[in-house]
């Protein structure tokens, strides 16, 4: 099964098939530039990309945003020949607009069904997810675990691929305290506690949740930012103990 097929299984599109078909057709028609559009009344509305560098960015006219401000149900744009995941800028804009965002991946002119993300969508199953950075990665899994199991919404942190190479970003160590986590002793671990791990990196770059019975729920990535070969799963904690640097518990 390809990454596109597996992502399709987990796609949480809240719209009818016409929206996807119209967005894909638009993306094909402007390739290799990025397409952009909005969903209004459950219909895709193709828009003009007014960005200066249309091959790597998109920008929607402020007049259009203002005109449909309270009617926009989603924003959809394309990624010509990748990447197959949102950028930090995409994530920031999605959070700011508080509506789902979708990306149509276009590979050599062939458009794939858009994938969506955003907190207004239903939480995807926690196990079996393909790795897709920013949507189905290790931090996304922790956020969704707390949403689904604890009714706790942790903040989202927009991030680009290979954020762990920037020591100043430090996704986990910098942000977990602000989310109400405190370090605990490894001998005190209980269900719902999280581990922070360091795998072939100079900084903490992986995390997961202890789910009891000696198992942790986590999602390992790869070097491309997306992978069908690394689905989220439960594994014995002893397999990862050598990489674990901290255990933390949500207190607040």
pLDDT in tens, 83-134: 999 999 999 999 999 999 999 999 999 999 999 999 999 999 999 999 999 9
Q: What is the pTM of this model?
A: 0.94
DSSP 107-121: ETTEEPPPEEE-TTS
Q: Could you give the maximum distance between any two Cα atoms of the chain, in Å?
A: 58
Q: pLDDT value at position 3?
A: 61
Q: Kindly report the average pLDDT of the chain as a whole number.
A: 94
Would you give the distance in Å from CA 8 to the centre of its chain?
14
User: At which residue do the structure tokens 């790795």 appear?
Assistant: 131
- Residue 29 burial (CB count, 10 A): 11
Report the distance separating Cα 88 and Cα 43, nearest Å: 27
Closest by CA position to 46, among listed 61, 55, 57, 56: 61
H or E element in which residue 244 lies:
strand 244-250
**What span, in angstroms and rounded, lies between the C-alpha atoms of 32 and 56?**
9
Q: How far apart are CA 243 and CA 197, in angstroms?
A: 5
Contact 115, 7 (CB under 8 A): yes
Q: How far apart are CA 162 and CA 112, in angstroms?
A: 25
Measured CA distances, 209 to 43, 60, 233 (Å): 39, 39, 11
- The DSSP symbol for 23 reads H
Q: In this structure, which long-range contacts are made by residues 21-28, counting pairs with CB atoms below 8 Å and at least 24 apart in sequence?
A: 22/46, 23/76, 23/78, 23/102, 23/104, 23/114, 24/104, 24/111, 24/112, 24/113, 24/114, 25/111, 26/78, 27/78, 27/80, 27/104, 27/106, 27/111, 28/106, 28/109, 28/110, 28/111
Average pLDDT over residues 32-43: 98
Whether residue 229 has pLDDT greater than 80? no
Among residues 221, 18, 23, 4, the alpha carbon closest in space to that of 107 is found at 4
Give the pLDDT score at 11: 80
pLDDT band per the 50, 70, 90 thresholds, residue 247: very high
Mean pLDDT to the nearest integer, 68-89? 95
- Phi and psi torsions of 242, nearest 5°: -70, -20
pLDDT, tens only, 196-210: 999 988 999 999 999
Comparing CA positions, the residue from 140, 252, 251 lying closest to residue 190 is 251
The C-alpha atoms of residue 220 and residue 178 are separated, in whole angstroms, by 24
Percent of residues, the chain, with pLDDT higher than 70 = 97
Contacts of 26 (CB under 8 A, 6+ apart): 35, 37, 44, 46, 78
In this prediction, residue 35 has a pLDDT band, given cuts at 50, 70 and 90, of very high
pLDDT over 70 (residue 2): no
């Amino acid at each position: 099964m390809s990454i596109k097929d597996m992502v399709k299984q987990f796609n949480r599109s809240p719209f009818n098939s016409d929206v996807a078909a119209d967005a894909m057709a638009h993306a094909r028609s402007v390739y290799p530039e990025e397409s952009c559009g909005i969903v209004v009344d459950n219909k895709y509305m193709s828009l003009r990309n007014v960005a200066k560098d249309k091959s790597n960015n998109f920008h929607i006219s402020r007049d259009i945003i203002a005109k449909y401000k309270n009617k926009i149900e989603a924003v959809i744009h394309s990624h010509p020949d990748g990447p197959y995941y949102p950028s930090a800028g995409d994530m920031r804009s999605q959070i700011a607009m508080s509506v789902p965002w979708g990306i149509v991946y276009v590979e050599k002119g062939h458009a794939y069904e858009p994938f969506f993300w955003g907190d207004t969508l239903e939480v995807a199953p926690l196990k079996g997810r393909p790795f897709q950075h920013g949507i189905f990665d290790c931090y996304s899994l922790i956020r969704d675990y707390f949403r689904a199991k604890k009714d706790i919404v942790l903040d989202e942190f927009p991030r680009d691929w290979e954020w762990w190479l920037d020591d100043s970003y430090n996704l986990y160590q910098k942000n977990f305290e602000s989310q109400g986590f405190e370090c605990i002793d490894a001998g005190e671990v209980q269900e719902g506690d999280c581990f922070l791990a360091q795998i072939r990196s100079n900084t903490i770059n992986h995390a997961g949740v202890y789910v009891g019975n000696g198992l942790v729920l986590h999602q390992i990535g790869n070097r491309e930012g997306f992978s069908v070969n690394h689905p989220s799963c439960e594994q014995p904690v002893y397999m990862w103990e050598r990489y674990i640097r901290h255990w933390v518990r949500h207190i607040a």
